[in-house]
Structure 1
Amino acid sequence: MDIFEADIDKSHRVGVLVCAQASLASLGLLMDVFRMANQMPGSHRFELVRVSNDGAAVRHPDGVLSVDGGVALLAGADLVVVPSMWTQGATAIEHNPRLVEALRDLPEHVLVVAMCSGAYMLAATGRLAGKRATTHWLLAEGLQARYPEIQIDAADNLVQEGGLICSGGSLAGVDACLYAVQMLTDRATARGLAAMLVTDLNRGPQSRFMPSLGMRRHADKEMRRLQDLLESRCHEAWGLGDMAARVHVSVRTLQRRFLAATGMTPVQYLQAARIERSKDLLELERLPVPEVAARVGYQDRVAFGRLFKKMVGMTPAAYRQKHR
């Protein structure tokens, strides 16, 4: 039997890490999810155990947070949840070494959910090395730079690697908790809980909320000029050599500088520019989808549709219907 297969008639212990860097909204959301789950019909119940670095109440900037004790209470946990730390992920690691050690030493069968920048604390354990993970798209570049051995995929709202589950922005933590409920119980229970929370069980990729054309608040004028070119002439066939020639650098230098400036590769940027232009065409014109694809540089409608759905979270036809 799979180690994550749901048991029947079981109370599940859920360890909740509490620290001064935690987002109160994130803490409240995750606790509400499991408290609401206890109102669901059926035999599965969730016991919430709040744990701090030293076992004492936490002096949070927004008030004192009570806890149930220290990391010893994680013994016997079925699930441990790390709330969002918003922009204080690195600080949380520094000030909560026992929590990091406890995460590192959890048995393999224990599920771990890292909400948003809670991924920093999970990354600090070394357990994500060589694995995929996600976090809020705005923080992904910093997390990737700090832990280059982890494959950060900011486009995904939810990433599971074995028993490790990471989510995107703070509200995506609800998705992660619902997913953990599904793994500990069953899909029907998770679906019913999602309905009670007035949300979807799967809300699609985080890429729907990312600024699709990357960051422009950088000082590299040549890369900004190339961004303008790729946006205005996205329908043209661009190779890396063509892009590099435009800014008078080598391909290798182009790739390094463009990624550093925008958080995207040049090819990713070109794809994003094409998808943004196609969204405009779908909203404003009555062109068939194959013609929309051709107008933004794609002759293969299937490839265009696949990329559009990956980046936008719906098909071109569905996008047109929603936005017209």
Structure 2
Amino acid sequence: MDIAAPQDHRVGVLICRQHSLASYGLVLDAFRMANQLGVAHRFHLVRISQDGQPVAHPDGDLRVDAGLEALSGVDVVLIPSLWLNGPEAVAEQSQTIAALARLDSRILVATLCTGAYLLAASGRLDGKAATTHWMLANGFQARYPQVRVQASHNLTHEAEVVCSGGSLAAVDVCLYVVQLLAGRDVARNLARLLVTDLSHGPQTWYTPPHGWRRHNDDGIHQVEAFIAEHHAQPLSLEQLAQRLHTSVRTLQRRFLAATGMTPIQYQQAVRIDRSKDLLESSRLPIEAVAECVGYQDRVAFGRVFKKVTGLSPAAYRQQQGVGA
């Protein structure tokens, strides 16, 4: 019986001096390991730089296979993370950005973390959902207001554009691209080879739900501390405003500007954070956990918890390895 020829997939990997070596190496490793799964699919990596020359990376020169002309011949383009260097890369990679803007819209483009900066600068993310590392999402959104940033998402996929969040999401996006090109079975087998899962869930599993956003409004810091201490109690905006000797409207405006949330959203985030601690560290019934953090209705608590984490309280507890 004849053995069917493998289906070839050409994977273009953009490289510039601002790219994270860990992110770049993960992309190479994931697709090279995918080639160890059998002969049905083969992934051919094409390392691409702006000028087709080796990249003078701060941690050592990186070899490449081609210049930007190779982009038209690939099935998917991957842009590794730029970590904190997104704006710097945008300033230096004008030709790469122009090439991404000209790229056939049928070619899939996947960004890892802040690799989204280069794609956003090309205009290809305009009006589309995207994500990046939760810590950097506000700055990214401010720079590219035309992009629909969904920082809570680990992955977004719209109109042949896939974006991913932080470090673990880098694995997820590689697996997701493999699934799109070669099917779920191949992606699942690759996940096993990488000793991981097909998906790590939303970034809200890993995002500090409150207090992570730096700001210099001392009054709002005091309000945050008060909400954290009294999170299980009903929240009175009037009482909070009195603490700042201001109006409710001014309180809400200042709180949103400082934290990115309303006081009610902040209280909810604290409650869910505390409930996660209880689910992980105790065997309290779900009803008792809900009551401890201020929810008298288990159903309402479960609805909010799932909206924030993507899991029911019971499923979250099981995922953390805690017996019910």
Using the size of structure 1 for normalisation, the TM-score is 0.90
Any idea what the Cα deviations from partners look like across 1:90-138, whole Å, max 9, x if unmatched? 1111101111111122112111110011011111112222222111111
Paired position in structure 1 for 2:7 = 10
**1:211 is the counterpart of 2:215:** no
**2:64 corresponds to 1:67:** yes
Matched, 1:130 2:127: yes
Q: Count the aligned residue pairs.
A: 317
Q: CA deviation at 1:211?
A: 1.3
Counterpart residue number, 1:99: 96
- Of 274, 298, 301 in structure 2, the residue corresponding to residue 301 of structure 1 is 298
The aligned residue for residue 109 of structure 1 is 106
Between the aligned partners of 1:283 and 1:64, the Cα distance in structure 2 is 45
Corresponding residue for residue 51 of structure 1? 48
Helix, strand or coil: the match of 2:232?
A: coil
Match of 1:168 in 2: 165
- Provide structure 2 residue ranges, at least 5 long, that are not aligned to the other structure: none
Which whole-Å CA distance do the structure 2 matches of 1:127 and 1:256 have between them? 33
Distance 1:310 1:185, change over 3 A: same
Residues of 2 paired with 1:54 and 1:237: CA distance? 60
Pick from 140, 143, 153 the counterpart of residue 140 of structure 2: 143
Matched, 1:233 2:230: yes
Alpha-carbon distance, 1:172 to partner: 1.4
Residues 1:290 and 2:287 aligned together: yes
Amino acid at match of 1:169: G
Cα distance per residue 1:12-60 (max 9 Å; x no partner):
1111100000001111000111111111124221111111111111111
The one-letter code matched in structure 1 to 2:11 is V
- What's 1:220 paired with? 217
> Which deviates more, 80-89 or 224-233?
224-233
The reply to whether residue 201 of structure 1 matches residue 167 of structure 2 is no
Distance in 1 (CA, whole Å) between partners of 2:177 and 2:67 is 23
What aligned pairs does 1:21-60 form with structure 2 within 5 A after superposition?
Answer: 21-60=18-57
Shift of 1:319: 4.0
Contact 1:175 1:201 in 2 (8 A): yes
Alignment of structure 1 residues 254-269 onto 2, 5 Å = 254-269=251-266
CA deviation profile, 1:276-299 (whole Å, cap 9, x unmatched): 222343355554212322332323
Distance in 2 between residues matched to 1:280 and 1:11, nearest whole Å: 47
**Offset at residue 250 of structure 1 (A):** 4.6
Native 8 Å contact 1:40 1:193 kept in 2: yes
The equivalent position to 1:86 in structure 2, one of 70, 83, 90, is 83
Structure 1 unaligned spans of 5+: 1-7
- The residue identity in structure 1 corresponding to 2:146 is E
Structure 1 residues 286, 34: closer, same or farther in 2, change over 3 A?
Answer: closer
CA displacement 1:257-285 (0-9 Å, x = unmatched): 32332243433311111112223433555
- Paired residues of 2:41 and 2:182 also in contact (CA < 8 A): yes
The letter for the 2-side match of 1:163 is E
Structure 2 contact 72–104 (Cα < 8 Å) conserved: no
C-alpha distance in 1 between matches for 2:213 and 2:87? 25
8 A Cα contact 1:215 1:263, kept in partner: no
| Residue type of the alignment partner of 2:73 | G
Moved more, 41-50 or 112-121: 41-50
Aligned position for 1:3: none
Root-mean-square deviation (CA, aligned residues, Å) is: 2.2
% identical equivalent positions: 56
Q: Which runs of 4+ in 1 moved over 6 A?
A: none
Cα distance change of structure 1 residues 214 and 123 upon mapping to structure 2, 3 Å threshold:
farther
Alignment partner for residue 244 of structure 2, among 243, 247, 254? 247
Q: CA deviation at 1:323?
A: 4.5
Q: TM-score, normalised by structure 2?
A: 0.90
Match of 2:17 in 1: 20
Which structure has more RCO (C-alpha within 8 Å, separation ≥ 6)? Answer: 1
Cα gap change, 1:83 to 1:257, in 2 (>3 Å) = same
Report what 2:149 is aligned to.
152
Residues 62-116 of structure 1 deviation map (CA, whole Å, 9 limit, x = unaligned): 0111111211011121100000000000111110111111112211211111001
SS at structure 1 position matched to 2:166: coil
